[in-house]
Amino acid sequence: MKRERLWLLAVLLPLGILGAMALSSRAHAQNGALLKPPPGSQMAIVVFEDMECPDCARANPLLEEAARTYKIPLVRHDFPLAMHTWAFDAAVFGRYFEAKSKKLGDEFRDSAFQHQSEITKDNLREFVERFAKEHHTNLPFVVDSQGKLAAAVKMDQELGNRVGISHTPTIYVVTQGRTTPPFVEVVDRKELFQVIDALRAAIG
């Protein structure tokens, strides 16, 4: 842990973005090894998000822009908060569309964020049906008859709990951890690009 903090000081202080890349004591205390880039990638953006969370909706375009700009994966984890009445069901629908294709799943999440203020627990199904129709995708009456999609969402929640997630969105830039800390929480989203630049430079 001490070595990682010294690394942060050495790399980030000259760039003037130490505050944006600071590893929180909460994140340090948890198992950072749980957060890894997908196979074949040296780096990824990882976000724990809730489709009913207004701040997640604000963060979403920036995360997608960063992933496109740096050509690195954006790994989404569902972390629907108990206070949000339709977030868990939306996450299940998101998993259904993602099972069709990752692109379709991402488009559903984008649409949910864009129309977030219009969606309620009562009209969520109507919104999902409209999305499916617009994207020429079949939507069965019961999308998760075996409960596998809900189980996948709960697995993401359990992962978030193990990592120490307490709010959404929680954003990390993760690496293989050979020459850098394995994960860094992005505290200030405005400096996400500098965070990635600093880690890329350290990876070489």
Alpha helices, H only, 101-191: 102-114, 124-134, 148-163
pLDDT over 50 (residue 67): yes
Q: What is the DSSP letter of 47?
A: E
Considering only residues 22 and 33, tell me which one the structure prediction assigns the higher pLDDT.
33
Average pLDDT over every residue of 60-84 = 97
Q: Identify any residues that bridge with 85 across adjacent strands, giving them in sequence order.
A: none
Overall residue count recorded for the chain in this entry: 204
Q: Which domains does the chain have, with CATH numbers?
A: 2-203 (3.40.30.10)
Instruction: Reduce the DSSP state of residue 78 to 3 states and report it.
Output: strand
Average pLDDT over every residue of 54-81 = 98
Report the alpha-carbon angle 120-84-93, nearest 5. Answer: 65
pLDDT one-digit tens code per residue, 129-180 = 999 999 999 999 999 999 999 999 999 999 999 999 999 999 999 998 777 7
Q: Between the ranges 21-25, 29-33, 67-71, where is the mean pLDDT highest?
A: 67-71
Residue 114's pLDDT band (cuts 50, 70, 90)? very high
